Amino acid sequence: MEEMSRMKRKKEQLTNIHDDVEEKLEEEVNPSDDSHFPTREDFHEYKKQRTKKVRNPLFTTLAIIFPIIVIGVFFLLIYYTSQEINHNNNQGVYIDKTSSADTDPVPSALVETKNDSSADKADASAEEKKKKEAEKEKQRSKEKAEQKKKEQAGKEKAEREKAAATAAAKKREQQQLALQKQQEEKKRKEAEEKKKQEEKPVRVVQHTVGPEENLYRISMKYYQNRSGEEKIKAYNHLKGNSVYSGQVLNIPLEN
């Protein structure tokens, strides 16, 4: 219906143009001045030329516009087809369009080839991804094993250090006990010696230290051995072995 209405409008326009041309021709052919009248052949020739001049631009315009429209439609079809193919390739889905009248077997074959290559690439990427995940899992298990070894080594080291510290503490405690026993034994012996000395009857002799005398000589003089040195120091409350000339010492002697 639209095409019929367009054709009618075009015919009306052409008719109007033709009428206008005829009116102009009549005005030009039939001027007010009756001095010159063209012949019938000149009139028809002039009318044909004017009609051609009026009709040629319209046909030229249509001849230019129609191929442009056809080419534009063709490129639009190619564009939408390529967009649909790219969309199908991205989704990894192949749509069979062989039943359509506009389908070409070459693009369909290319689409199938692209789909196969994309499927192969997807499979290869999936396998590569699985390999990478397996390697990562292996690396994680290895790291966990190393971490466990480190923790075990740390525990063993801590236990060894703790055992060594315990042994050192026990050793120190034993040394302290042994030293304490030695001191107690020494004190006991001193007490026994003092008790013996107190129990034995003694006589005291006063001795004046000479210029070249010392405890050793005094002990050898009165006791004939060095045991008298301790007796003299204990009895006279001497802190060391030094004595001076003229010092008076009390020498305890047994009866």
pLDDT at 177: 92
* Cα(52)–Cα(59) distance, integer angstroms: 10
For the chain, give the mean pLDDT: 77
Structure-token pair, residue 249: 């010492």
pLDDT one-digit tens code per residue, 175-214: 999 999 999 999 988 888 777 666 555 788 899 998 888 9
Report the pLDDT averaged over residues 231-246. 88
Task: Tell me, yes or no, if the pTM score tops 0.85.
Answer: no
pLDDT at 56: 55
Contact 118, 86 (CB under 8 A): no
200-254 fold: Membrane-bound Lytic Murein Transglycosylase D; Chain A (3.10.350)
Q: Give the whole-number percent of the chain exceeding pLDDT 70.
A: 70
Distance of CA 131 to the CA centre of its chain: 20
Q: Give the whole-number percent of the chain exceeding pLDDT 90.
A: 10
78, HSE (Cβ side, Cα atoms, 13 Å): 6
Please give the residue that has the higher pLDDT: either 175 or 58.
Answer: 175
pLDDT one-digit tens code per residue, 24-53: 655 555 544 444 556 777 767 776 766 554
* Cα(225)–Cα(235) distance, integer angstroms: 17
Q: Is 249 exposed, middle or buried (0-12, 13-18, 19+ CB in 10 A)?
A: buried
Overall size of the chain counted in residues: 255
pLDDT at 121: 74
* Cα(150)–Cα(138) distance, integer angstroms: 18
Domain boundaries, the chain: 2-86, 130-181, 200-254
* Cα(69)–Cα(91) distance, integer angstroms: 33
Query: What DSSP letter does each residue of 23-77 carry, written as one string?
Result: HHHHHHHS-S-TT----HHHHHHHHHHHHHHHHHHHHHHHHHHHHHHHHHHHHHH
> Would you place residue 228 in the very low, low, confident or very high pLDDT band (cuts 50, 70, 90)?
confident
> Would you place residue 93 in the very low, low, confident or very high pLDDT band (cuts 50, 70, 90)?
very low
Which phi-psi region, left, alpha or beta, contains residue 249 (left: φ > 0; alpha: ψ -120 to 50)? Answer: beta
